[in-house]
A and B are shown apart, each in its own frame.
Chain A
Amino acid sequence: MLSRTASNLYWLSRYVERAECLARILDATYRLSALPQGYGSTTNEWDSAIATAGCVISFKEKYEEANERTVTEYLAFSTDNPSSIRNCLEIARTNARSVRTALTTEMWDAINSAWHELHHYDPKRITREEFTRFLNFVTETSVRFDGTSFRTMLRNDAYWFSRLGFLVERADATARILDVKYHVLLPREAQVGGPLDYFQWASILRSVSARTSYHWVYRDSVKPWLVADLLILNRQMPRSLASCYENINRYLDDLAQFYGRQGQAQRLARSITNKLENGKMEDIFQSGLHEFITQFLIDNNRVGNAIGDQYLI
């Protein structure tokens, strides 16, 4: 396969997934900011949203303050923000057009019709209700794209590159959510489970759409260390770092076997997978949750670069 085709497939999936992650972050932030004063956080939720999206510096260059209006504009619609939802979907379609022949009709249709629909939303005149519909539309687009690729693509290198893009992006997003909110997940001696933290935990679960899953897995009320466990080590949870890496590992192995050659990407992914499979939450808390997540973000990025060097250029 052409390296450029592989690259386009990989980034197409990354951008679709990125759009969905942003939509979920925005949704969770809206919910949190809608709570009455006493329940709200002491920190500004809109600042957290910008931090989670990883664009604090570029945001600050454009706006004085993070609030509902500015953050919504920047993360959802801004053309200045290369990773706004709108830009993600634009780039996704440009990528899709470039690799039209490597996509199934259904996948193309999912992206192409989303792109047409995107232009129906006018950021200048959008109401809150419409915005909720917009966020739903973004999530549904991602689910539809993912579903069509799962159901219609041949299981060959094209599929594996597409999956890898999706998983590397997903792992990154989950880690970022944890990175911004890690302090509310730390087990503390006293005051565990105050009303304030409770809504923060619920919000984290919401931003990875895992509120229901949590209860199915733990059959317990929301507890911070369990939230951390769910998002980091629990392989049943599709957005957990462990699950992402279990699959990244698998698809990289598929590629290695298909091409009869393996390299740095496979070696790095294996080592991360091992770390997650053998990890225990106690140890992670012991040696520092923040440090753990920071290291994971670096490692995940390295895997992305290794995939790029090995296959995409």
Chain B
Amino acid sequence: MSSRSPDFFDEMRASDGSIRPAYRQLAHWLDTVPKDVLDYRRKEAEFIFRRIGITFAVYGDAASTERLIPFDIIPRILNRGEWQKLSRGLEQRVKALNMYLSDAYHKREILRAGIVPEELIYGNPVFRPEMNGQAVPHDIYVMIAGIDVVRVDPDNFYVLEDNARVPSGVSYMLENREIMLRLFPELFIDHPVAPVDNYADELLATLKSVAPNNSSGDPTVVLMTPGIYNSAYYEHSFLADKLGCELVEGRDMFVKGDMLYMRTTEGPKRVDVIYRRVDDDFIDPLSFRPDSMLGVPGLMSVYQAGNVTLANAVGTGIADDKAVYSYMPDIIKFYLGEEPILKNVDTWRCREPDHLKYVLDNIEKLVVKEVHGSGGYGMLIGPAADKKTIENFAAKVKAAPEGFIAQPTLALSTCPTFVEEGIAPRHVDLRPFVLTGRDRTRIVPGGLTRVALSKGSLVVNSSQGGGTKDTWVLDR
């Protein structure tokens, strides 16, 4: 069956060719199930996805503005021990992110301690002066985090990126599981897979727990979307449905005397908590971009008065960009006095002269990224680039070193994947979702596994041809 590249950690097969325990039944099943059955089920899955309308929009593509993200029917499996370690690390990391944000917008002890440079906060374009000294309900900034992690060996998870603004993808975690239960019920008899479908309940509990103190006993939670043309609109409507809350757009709400209301068929109704899937820039034209039609004029006044909770808070971008990433291990140690459980990828900050020298000397071995880029754009993968490209990129880095960081190319783990040529290993990452409420942290066992479908590719972004898999955490 599948061939295995010896350079990468394969989630299913150890280097001696033996099957890892968590995958034992699955490997057997893959060996016995006829390929045409797999093929048939895959088509069925695609049909179901299209039918229920799980699509994402591709900007600048007029012909087909609604597309499916390819779904791979072979699950990715983690055992209980692996998950427990991972989830402890996630909890630790998100706790530190929240403490960093609170500090950065108030006392800034971390600056005084000399752990991070001043410009990381003040010089960051996503630092929101409006949030300076501004209390947020219960001092929680990131209620919903999506942390991208990768594995490179049996023992270590590395964090690739923190997403503390409006992380998306959780609907795929839930829908992928639904589809798997529908298509392969037999697999769930052999595998004690921890359920994920309580995610919406956990999210709602989290959101209600962070309602302003002056809200009623049963706070009104809404999900705010930019509208049907947003690429993640399906997810917004899906989650609103599961949460049993209204899916609102900016124009459904208005501000009156420091309170926020939505327009309903029974008249205005107060809104206490907004799970907002609209970026900071667009939520209030009176505070941010004046040309935004997506927001609610005056929303920030209500927020500043403490009469509404925004989840996530405004200004969380300073905690999740690539510039702050390299400081995360120090940030965790500073606030929690603990060693980080999840590793950080070694990062050279080109703004520091000795780092810059190392990067330029070794650029053909490194991945160089723009500090404020995202989605796999604006980066150089040294080992995969030709000489000319490398030279051009090096010139860009030299011209404005503070805009770049560099990392070694990571050997992302592979997972068996059903592709054209049959079952073959493909690189994967994982985005688990961490919910932080006033009462506690909640992490549903699983996440979104993204898979690079082209052979050898390390880019898993859906905008660049990545697919998804169901992620199983075994209860054993």
Contacts and interface: CB of A to CB of B under 8 A. Distances in A.
A255 B264 CA distance: 13
B112 interface: no
Given A4-B252, A112-B53, A100 B264 contact: no
A113 B52 CA distance: 10
B36 interface: no
B51 interface: yes
A1 B265 contact: yes
B265 A311 contact: yes
B263 A101 contact: no
Contacts of B262: 2
Given A97-B228, A105-B52, A311-B265, A3 B252 contact: yes
A5 B248 CA distance: 9
B237 A4 contact: no
A161 B241 CA distance: 19
Interface string A92-105: 00100110110001
B265 A259 contact: yes
Interface in B233-288: 233-234, 237, 240-241, 246-249, 251-252, 262-266
Interface string A249-290: 000000100010100000000000000000000000000000
A70 B128 CA distance: 57
Contact of A100 (B227, B237, B249): B237
A100 B246 contact: no
Interface residues of A, number: 24
Given A101-B247, A105-B52, A108-B53, A3 B237 contact: no
Interface string B199-241: 0000000000000000000000000000110000110010011
Given A105-B52, A112-B53, A3 B264 contact: yes
A157 B228 CA distance: 23
A2 B53 contact: no
Interface string A67-79: 0000000000000
A147 B241 CA distance: 22
B53 A259 contact: no
A259 B265 CA distance: 9
B230 to A, nearest CB: 11
B228 A98 contact: yes
Interface in B50-86: 51-53
B51 A2 contact: no
A2 B246 contact: yes
A313 B263 CA distance: 7
Interface string B26-59: 0000000000000000000000000111000000
Contact of B265 (A6, A97, A109): A6
Nearest to A161: B265
Contacts of B249: 4
Given A97-B233, A100-B53, A105-B52, A3 B263 contact: yes
Given A3-B252, A4-B251, A97-B228, A157 B241 contact: no
A264 to B, nearest CB: 15
A312 B265 CA distance: 6
Contacts of B228: 94, 97-98
A2 B241 contact: no
A3 B265 contact: yes
A101 B240 contact: yes
Given A101-B240, A101-B241, A101-B247, A1 B264 contact: yes
Interface in A1-26: 1-6
Contacts of A4: 248-249, 251-252, 263
B269 to A, nearest CB: 9
B258 to A, nearest CB: 22
Contact of B263 (A2, A97, A98, A161): A2
B246 A5 contact: yes
Contacts of B241: 100-101
A169 to B, nearest CB: 19
Interface of B: 51-53, 227-228, 233-234, 237, 240-241, 246-249, 251-252, 262-266
Given A4-B263, A161-B265, 6 more contacts: A2-B264, A3-B265, A4-B252, A98-B227, A100-B241, A101-B241
Q: Pick the 7 closest A-B CB pairs, nearest first.
A: A100-B237, A101-B241, A3-B263, A311-B265, A97-B228, A6-B265, A1-B265
